Amino acid sequence: MSLPRPLRAGLLAAALILLTGAATPTYRYQIDAPRSSVDAKVAFLGLASKSARFPRMSGGIHLTPDRLDAIDLDVTLDARALTAGDKVTLERLRGKDFFDVERYPTIRFAGTRMTMTGQTTARVEGEITARGVTRPATLAVTFAQPPVSATGKEPIQLSAQTTINRHDFGMTAYSVVVGRKVTITINARMVPG
């Protein structure tokens, strides 16, 4: 007994989908800037620390749940909006010795590869660009929910941390009193978009 031609074609198509697996879509998320923060902390006089915050940011992430390694993360910070604990620190950070915000108004992180280290933890490799200098950086990321379960409909919450050497970006002033290592902490909410 022979099956009708349309039924054979349908069964063949279904079998091919089952054999090759249906492609999981890539979801786009945008950073929810009012509900996200980026903070930087550096040792000061070897006894205390100084902190700065970057309240204005934009960017997002492309995430494919079955190809988490192929992440596309791009976040830009507005360096001109930088805040700090006191006026003197703020002026110095915005000035030519540090971020030089008049010449370099943005700081950018572009992540291109993610390696899962647990269900909700990962390393994201990419590059940071500040003051016109680009250097490799790796973020240690913790997701509130496993990214493999992303649906493209619900927000993604994550925290991340990395440490950079400020001298690598030409910020060499006050080396005696200000530490070289800067710890950057990110708390981000990404919304579908």
**What DSSP assignment string belongs to 13-55?**
HHHHHHHH-PPPPPEEEEE-GGG-EEEEEEEETTTEEEEEE--
In terms of Cβ atoms closer than 10 Å to its own Cβ (0-12, 13-18, 19+), residue 98 is buried
Under the banding of pLDDT at 50, 70 and 90, the label for residue 1 is low
Tokens of 103: 């010449």
Residue 170 has pLDDT above 90, yes or no: yes
160 vs 47 pLDDT, higher one: 160
Q: What digits encode the pLDDT tens for the residues 49-79?
A: 999 999 999 999 999 999 999 899 999 999 9
Return the pLDDT at 99.
96
Q: What digits encode the pLDDT tens for the residues 35-53?
A: 999 999 999 887 889 999 9
Return the pLDDT at 24.
76
**Is CATH 2.40.128.110 the classification given to domain 24-192?**
yes
